[in-house]
Amino acid sequence: MGRLGGVILAVLSWGATALLAQEAHHHQSPASANAGSAQVVEDQAEQTADAAKKGAVAAPVFSPAPGSYPTGTTVAITTATAGATIYYTTNGTSPSRKTSPAYHGPIPRTAKITLKAFGYKKGMAASAVTSGVYTVSGPPPPPDTGGTLFLATLTPQGAATSNGSGSSTLTLSTNESAAYLRFSFSGLSGPITGEHIHGPDGAILFDIDTTPPQNGVWTWRIAPVGTYTAASIVAALRGGQCYLNLHTAAYPAGEIKGYFHQSNGSQTFTPPPAPPPLPGGPPTADDAARFLLQATYGPQPGEVEALQQKGFSRWLDEQMGLPRASHLATFDALAAEVPPDQKPNTSLVRESFVGQAVQGNDQLRQRVTFALSELFVVSDVDAGVRNGPDGLASYLDLLASRAFGNFRDLLEAVTLSPTMGQYLDMAGSSKSIPERGLNPNENYAREILQLFSIGLYELHPDGTLRLDTDNQPIPTYEQDVVKAFARAFTGWTFGGQNQRIPDRFFRPQRNYRIPMEPWDAYHATDQKVLLDNKVLPSGLSARQDLSQALDVIFDHPNVGPFFCRFMIQRLVTANPSPSYVYRCGQAFANNGAGVRGDLGAVVREILLDYEARSTTTLARPDDGHLREPVVRLLGLLRTFDATPRQGRWRFNFDRAGASAGEIPLRAPTVFNFFEPTFALPGEIAQAGLVSPEFQISTETTVVGAANLAQAVLGNGRNGPFAFVLTPFVPPQVGSDDALLDKVDLLLFAGGMSDQTRAILKTALADPDFPHATPEQKVATLFWLAGIAPESVVQK
C-alpha cells in the first residue's frame, strides 16, 4: 500500500505554532476541549506579535536545507515572525495566498520538488519568497547494478480467493552466482507462514526464510537443489519459469504467486547487444507471405512471388513512393450523389477507407494509416466528429499523407485538425475568463500526453519502465503539467473566422477542411511549467506556445519507445522484446541522417528487424498477436480481389448477430478499441504477456466476426462483393492439396499445422461439404481457414 505511507516526522516549529494560532481564529468552538489550550497559544502568539515591530514578515527557513535526501524524509518550514502563516508551493510556481496551501506541518517528499514559500501576517508586509530544490537521494546502490533484473507481480495463486497482491524484483548478478531479491505485498489473509522461490516443477529453489535480509534485500546464493544444477536454475529463471510465492495459514499451498520476467523495468539501462545476422539470399515464399501479412491487409495470389523477386527493401522503397488517393476527393464524389434532402455522413468516409484498404496498391500506407488511426484516435461516436464527415476524410488524409513523414509534423497536424479539436475539445478552448465561467479545456492536453506520445511512466530507450531507487515506476507528469499544457493549447478554433466578431471563437463557422487557427485574445499568456520542468515563458503567442509545447513532447525520451512499441504491436507482435523496441526507438531518434522522428525509417526498421524476420521465434508460445477483426475481414476481401457489385463499398461492420466489435474510425473512446497493455485473464496474463486485441475478443465478437466473414463470402458468387476466384479453381488449381497449399501460404504464411491441414482436408473430402460450385467450395474453405486459430494469430 505504498501510497498510504509517507513518513511524517513530528517536527514542531514556530511555523506550526503560528498555524495553530491561526486555526483557533477559524474554529470558534468554546465547547471543544482543545479550545482552551489553543487560546493560550493564541495569546502567547499575540504578545509576541505585539513585541515585534510592524514591518515585513521574516522570510521562511527550510529545514533541512535544500539538497538531496532519501525519499520519505520531510521538510519543515519556519518563520521567525510569530503568528504568521506560511504559504507554499512544491512545483516551482510562485506561491500566493489565494491559490497555495497554507503550511501546517512538515511536507513529506517522495519525488523531486521545488519548494517556494513566503510568510504572511495581517498588518505586515509579506516576506520575501524562499525557494529551494530538494532531490531524492537513493539508498545504497543495489549490490550488483550490472546484473539482469527480473520483475514479478504477485497475484492470488490458483483459485485462492485472496485480495493479496505484491511485487518483487530479482537481480541476477553478472556472473550468475547470486541473485538479490526484494519484495513487498499487501492484503494477505494472515501472517506469512512460508516464502519461497520455486522452479518449473514446483520444487523449492530458494527458501527465503533461511536467510535474513539486509536493508530489505535477500541474497540468494544460487546452488544446486535436488535435480537442479546452478546452470539449470539460471536457465529456468531466464525462461520465465521461476516464481515467488507467499504462503499463509489459510493457503498452505501459497496465497499469492508471481513468475519472474526479465527486465520489464530497471533503475539503470544498458543497451542490448546487436541481434544475430539474418540468413541472406532472397526470401522464401513463406517468409514473403509472412512479411505481407504484417505489412499489408494480406497477400493476393501472385504478390508473394513478386515480393520474393523484388526483396523486402526494394518493396518498401516502392511502397513508400506510390501515389496516394485522396479520401476527401472520394468523399466529395460520394457526397455529390446524396439526395438534396439528406446530408452526407461519415459512412461515406468509411466507404473510402474500405475501398482503399482492399483495392489500394499502396498497401503499406493503408496498413500503417489504420494503425495510426488507432493511436491518434478520433471517433464518429462523437457528435462533433460526426457533424463534419469531410473533416473525418481530411483527418484520414492527414494520417495517410504523413505515414512515412516526420512524427513532429504529424503531431502538429493532428493537434490542429478541427476534427481532433472537436473530438478532444481543443477547438474553442479559452484562457480562464472567470466572469464568463471559462477555463482551459484539459482533455486534449491529457490525452496527447497519456495516449499519443509519452504515456504515464518514464521509459528506458527499450520501452521498459524506468524505476526509481525504490524500484517503483516514475510518473511522467502530474496534474499541474496537464493544466499547463491545457493553457499552452488555448486560443484555437476552426480556421477562416472573422476575428473581429469575438463570439466566433466559441460559435465558429465550421470549416472542417483546414487546420484550426489561433486567436491570441483567448490564449493564456502566463508562464507554463511543462514536462520535466521545461518552462514556456509568459507572453508567448498561441502559435508560439503550441509549437514549443509540441517540441517539448517530441523531445521527451519516451516518445520513440512508446510509439515504436505501439506500432510493433499493431503490425508484428504483441510482446516485442525490449531489444526490438530499442532498435526501432534508435531509428526514431535518428534515421541515419541525423533526423529524429522519421516515420519511414521507423516502419522500415519495424518490418526488417531481426525479430520480425527471423523464423526462430515462430515456435515460441508467446510469438505473434491476434489479427484484429477489421484486418482479418478486409484481408479476406483482398485475397479475392473483391469489388463491390453495386459500385459502392458499403460494408456494415456491425450487423445484428455479426458484430466483430471493431468499426474503423469508430472506437468507443479515445482509448481505441483495445489498449496496448490489456492481458487476457488466464494463462496469457499469468505468463506476464499482453494481448491487446483480446480486449474486444469476447464470446460475442469472436463468433460475430466469423458470422460477418460468412455473410461477406456467401457462396462465393452471390455476396455483396464480386470475387476473382480463378486462381483458386480448376484449371489453375487441380486438387484439394493444391488448394490447401494456397490457403496455407496466403492465410498462414506456411504455418498451417499437419493437424489443421488434415481437418480441412477431411472436410473438403466430405460429400456433405458445400461444393455446388467450385466457387462455393473455395469460399467455404477460406471461411473455415479464416477462423482457424493458426491463421487468426499472426506470427
Partner 1 sequence: MTEIRSTRRSFLRHSACAAVGMTALANTIFDLRRIAAAATVGDYKTLVCVFLYGGNDANNLIVPSSGSDYAAYAATRGALALPQTSLLALHPLSTPPGDSRQWGLHPSLTGLQGLFNGGHAAIVANVGPLVAPVSRTEFLARTAAVPPQLFSHSDQTVHWQTSLPDQPAKTGWGGRTADLLRSLNQNARISMSISVAGTNTFEVGNVVTQYQVSPEGPVGLTSYVPADQGADASSNAVRNLLGKTYGNLFERGYRGIFQTALDSQELLSGALGGAPVIATAFPDSDLAAQLKMVAQLISVRETLGLHRQIFFCAAQGYDTHGGQIGTSSLDGTHADLLLELDGAFAAFNAAIGELGVADTVTTFTASDFGRTYLPNDDGSDHGWGGHHLVMGGAVRGGRFYGQMPTLAIAGPNDAGDGRWIPTTSVDEYSATLARWFGVADSDMSLVLPNLGRFASTDLGFMG
In the complex, least distance from residue 508 CB atom to partner 1, rounded to whole angstroms:
12
DSSP tag of 142 = P
Task: Count the Cβ atoms, other than its own, within 10 Å of residue 146.
Answer: 11
Residue from 140, 99, 103, 134 nearest 118 by CA: 103
Is residue 446 within 8 A of residue 440, CB to CB? The reply is no
In the complex, least distance from residue 593 CB atom to partner 1, rounded to whole angstroms:
38
In the complex, least distance from residue 69 CB atom to partner 1, rounded to whole angstroms:
17
DSSP tag of 694 = G
In the complex, least distance from residue 142 CB atom to partner 1, rounded to whole angstroms:
23
Q: For residues 8 and 738, which CB has a smaller minimum distance to partner 1 in the complex? A: 8
Q: For residues 184 and 219, which CB has a smaller minimum distance to partner 1 in the complex? A: 184
Q: For residues 147 and 661, which CB has a smaller minimum distance to partner 1 in the complex? A: 661
Residue 487 backbone phi and psi in degrees, to 5: -70, -40
Question: What is the SS3 assignment for 608?
Answer: helix
Q: End-to-end CA distance of the chain, in Å? A: 39
Task: List Cα–Cα distances, 709 to 655, 657, 780, 782, in angstroms.
Answer: 12, 12, 10, 10
All three cell numbers of 742, joined, read: 494456397
What is the Cα–Cα distance from 425 to 441, expressed in whole angstroms? 7
- Containing H/E element for 247? strand 243-248
How big is the chain by its Cα radius of gyration, in Å?
31
In the complex, least distance from residue 426 CB atom to partner 1, rounded to whole angstroms:
10
What is the Cα–Cα distance from 597 to 559, expressed in whole angstroms? 9
Q: For residues 341 and 768, which CB has a smaller minimum distance to partner 1 in the complex? A: 768
All three cell numbers of 733, joined, read: 488449381
In the complex, least distance from residue 617 CB atom to partner 1, rounded to whole angstroms:
11
In the complex, least distance from residue 115 CB atom to partner 1, rounded to whole angstroms:
12
In the complex, least distance from residue 332 CB atom to partner 1, rounded to whole angstroms:
26
Cβ-based neighbours of 766, under 8 Å, separated by 6 or more: none
In the complex, least distance from residue 422 CB atom to partner 1, rounded to whole angstroms:
7
In the complex, least distance from residue 196 CB atom to partner 1, rounded to whole angstroms:
19
Overall residue count recorded for the chain in this entry? 795
Q: For residues 56 and 506, which CB has a smaller minimum distance to partner 1 in the complex? A: 506
In the complex, least distance from residue 789 CB atom to partner 1, rounded to whole angstroms:
4
Q: For residues 526 and 551, which CB has a smaller minimum distance to partner 1 in the complex? A: 526
Question: What is the SS3 assignment for 90?
Answer: coil
In the complex, least distance from residue 467 CB atom to partner 1, rounded to whole angstroms:
15
Residue from 302, 508, 549 nearest 408 by CA: 549
What is the Cα–Cα distance from 745 to 132, expressed in whole angstroms? 66
What is the Cα–Cα distance from 791 to 397, expressed in whole angstroms? 31
What is the Cα–Cα distance from 291 to 310, expressed in whole angstroms? 13
Q: For residues 206 and 423, which CB has a smaller minimum distance to partner 1 in the complex? A: 423
Q: For residues 137 and 677, which CB has a smaller minimum distance to partner 1 in the complex? A: 677
In the complex, least distance from residue 442 CB atom to partner 1, rounded to whole angstroms:
6
Residue from 110, 99, 117 nearest 134 by CA: 110
In the complex, least distance from residue 769 CB atom to partner 1, rounded to whole angstroms:
4
The label of the residue with cell 519484495 reads 183
What is the Cα–Cα distance from 447 to 669, expressed in whole angstroms? 11
**SS percent in the chain: helix, strand, coil, step 5:** 40, 15, 45
Q: For residues 162 and 363, which CB has a smaller minimum distance to partner 1 in the complex? A: 162
Q: For residues 396 and 670, which CB has a smaller minimum distance to partner 1 in the complex? A: 670
- Amino acid type, 37: S
Q: For residues 333 and 506, which CB has a smaller minimum distance to partner 1 in the complex? A: 506
Helices (H), 31-180: 33-51
Q: For residues 328 and 416, which CB has a smaller minimum distance to partner 1 in the complex? A: 416
For residue 9, how many C-alpha atoms fall within 13 Å in the half-sphere facing its CB?
16
Task: Count the Cβ atoms, other than its own, within 10 Å of residue 140.
Answer: 9
In the complex, least distance from residue 502 CB atom to partner 1, rounded to whole angstroms:
13
Q: For residues 190 and 216, which CB has a smaller minimum distance to partner 1 in the complex? A: 190
Is residue 308 within 8 A of residue 642, CB to CB? The reply is no
In the complex, least distance from residue 684 CB atom to partner 1, rounded to whole angstroms:
5
All three cell numbers of 124, joined, read: 505586515
Q: For residues 144 and 790, which CB has a smaller minimum distance to partner 1 in the complex? A: 790
What is the Cα–Cα distance from 16 to 8, expressed in whole angstroms? 14
All three cell numbers of 372, joined, read: 495510426
Q: For residues 415 and 430, which CB has a smaller minimum distance to partner 1 in the complex? A: 430
Residue 491 backbone phi and psi in degrees, to 5: 95, 15
Burial of 123 (0-12, 13-18, 19+ CB in 10 A): exposed
In the complex, least distance from residue 479 CB atom to partner 1, rounded to whole angstroms:
7
Q: For residues 561 and 704, which CB has a smaller minimum distance to partner 1 in the complex? A: 704
Q: For residues 61 and 102, which CB has a smaller minimum distance to partner 1 in the complex? A: 102
Q: For residues 610 and 671, which CB has a smaller minimum distance to partner 1 in the complex? A: 671
- Containing H/E element for 18? helix 14-26
In the complex, least distance from residue 543 CB atom to partner 1, rounded to whole angstroms:
21
Task: Count the Cβ atoms, other than its own, within 10 Å of residue 433.
Answer: 11
What is the Cα–Cα distance from 273 to 536, expressed in whole angstroms? 39
Per-position DSSP letters for 628-687, written without gaps between them: PHHHHHHHHHHHTT-EETTSS----TEETTEE-S--TT--SSTT-SS-TT---TTHHHHT
